[in-house]
């Protein structure tokens, strides 16, 4: 892998130099560690364990393999620039040159046009990559799709590497364990709305708590299963609630007498970092429908 990384760095040297000062400032802000707290690199249910350093036919494993669904959205873990790459083992690959001066490798990206592992898509925009080659991206923005290209054929997963200061690889597992998981993928300052499915557990005093297990971003996007998580939503005054929800909430609302499966559609808004992470009160309910 180091041979490819060095070659790619030469190709995009001007990109790295352009962001060097900013990267040094970001590194200093993280206490000199070089790697800031990351946004988790996928929006999807993820099977994560520490397989860094495992023996492989071509040497030790230089990253972490994460089991994820085919074409799950792959996102930027921090602000930076991206560079496409292709190799026989890694297949469709992407380099993220972070503002902190850390380089991240995303490997085995999608090259299929159908879920049948057809390999007919190649390594290109809108199949493997979600942004142009060389694009500046923001943390939480979708940059690619998960897949099984290269020697991962038939086993969709993301191989993810961390190279502080663009140097040797280190174990990504500690950074991934403490990473903040995005609720959805979007570029900061873009316009979005969400569909959320799960169990509504409380409502009242202008807020509602939903245990979310599926999410869809509009415009575009598809329904994605995610690891269940509670999201506190804002409830605008005058919103019309389904009768079943009103009955369960009782006088004054708050904790429901029983969790109610619902679909929630949020008010159209401008993407912020807090919204991507599903921070309390960042998302406003526009419409609620019951799912039973």
Predicted confidence (pLDDT) per residue in 251-261, tens digit: 555 667 677 89
Using DSSP's 3-state secondary structure scheme, residue 197 falls into strand
Task: Tell me where in the chain the CATH 2.40.50 domain(s) lie.
Answer: 191-290
- For residues 266 and 52, give the distance between their C-alpha atoms in angstroms, rounded to a whole number: 39
DSSP 184: S
How far is the C-alpha of 74 from the C-alpha of 194, rounded, in Å? 18
- Average pLDDT over the chain, rounded to whole? 84
Tell me which residue has tokens 């990384």: 5
Task: Give the residue range(s) of CATH 2.70.70.10 domains in the chain.
Answer: 2-177
Residue 131 to residue 156: CA distance in whole angstroms = 21
pLDDT at 144 exceeding the cut of 80: yes
Describe the chain by its helix, strand, coil percentages, rounded to 5. Answer: 15, 40, 45
Q: Cβ distance 158 to 146 under 8 Å?
A: yes
What digits encode the pLDDT tens for the residues 217-244?
A: 999 889 999 999 999 999 888 887 777 7
Reported confidence tier of residue 202, pLDDT bands at 50, 70, 90: confident
Domain 2-177 class? mainly beta
- Which has more confidence, 39 or 246? 39
| CA 42, chain centre distance (Å) | 3
Contact between residue 220 and residue 190 where contact means Cβ atoms under 8 Å apart: no
Q: What are phi and psi of 27, to 5 degrees?
A: -65, -45
Domain 191-290 is in which class? mainly beta
Model pTM?
0.83
């Amino acid at each position: 892998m180091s041979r490819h990384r060095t070659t790619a760095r030469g190709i995009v040297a001007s990109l790295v130099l352009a962001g060097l000062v900013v990267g040094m400032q970001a590194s200093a802000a993280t206490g000199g560690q070089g790697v800031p707290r990351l946004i988790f690199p996928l929006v999807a249910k993820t099977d994560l364990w520490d397989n860094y350093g495992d023996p492989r036919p071509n040497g030790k494993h230089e990253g972490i393999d994460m089991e994820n669904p085919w074409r799950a959205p792959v996102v930027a873990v921090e602000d930076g620039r991206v560079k496409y790459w292709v190799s026989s083992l890694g297949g469709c690959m992407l380099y993220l040159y972070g503002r902190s001066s850390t380089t991240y490798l995303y490997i085995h990206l999608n090259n299929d046009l159908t879920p049948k592992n057809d390999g007919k898509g190649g390594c290109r925009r809108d199949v493997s990559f979600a942004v142009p080659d060389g694009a500046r991206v923001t943390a939480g923005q979708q940059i690619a799709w998960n897949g099984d290209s290269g020697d991962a054929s038939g086993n969709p997963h993301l191989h993810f590497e961390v190279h502080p200061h663009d140097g040797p690889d280190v174990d990504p597992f500690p950074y991934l364990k403490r990473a903040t998981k995005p609720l959805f993928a979007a570029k900061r300052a873009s316009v979005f709305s969400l569909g959320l499915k799960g169990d509504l557990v409380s409502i009242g005093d202008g807020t509602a708590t939903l245990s979310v297990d599926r999410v869809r971003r509009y415009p575009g996007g598809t329904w994605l299963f995610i690891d269940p998580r509670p999201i506190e939503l804002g409830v605008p005054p005058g919103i019309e609630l389904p009768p079943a929800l009103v009955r369960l909430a009782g006088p004054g609302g708050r904790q429901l007498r029983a969790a109610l499966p619902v679909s929630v559609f949020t008010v159209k808004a401008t993407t912020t970092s807090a919204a991507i992470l599903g921070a309390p009160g960042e998302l406003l309910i526009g419409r609620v429908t019951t799912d039973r």
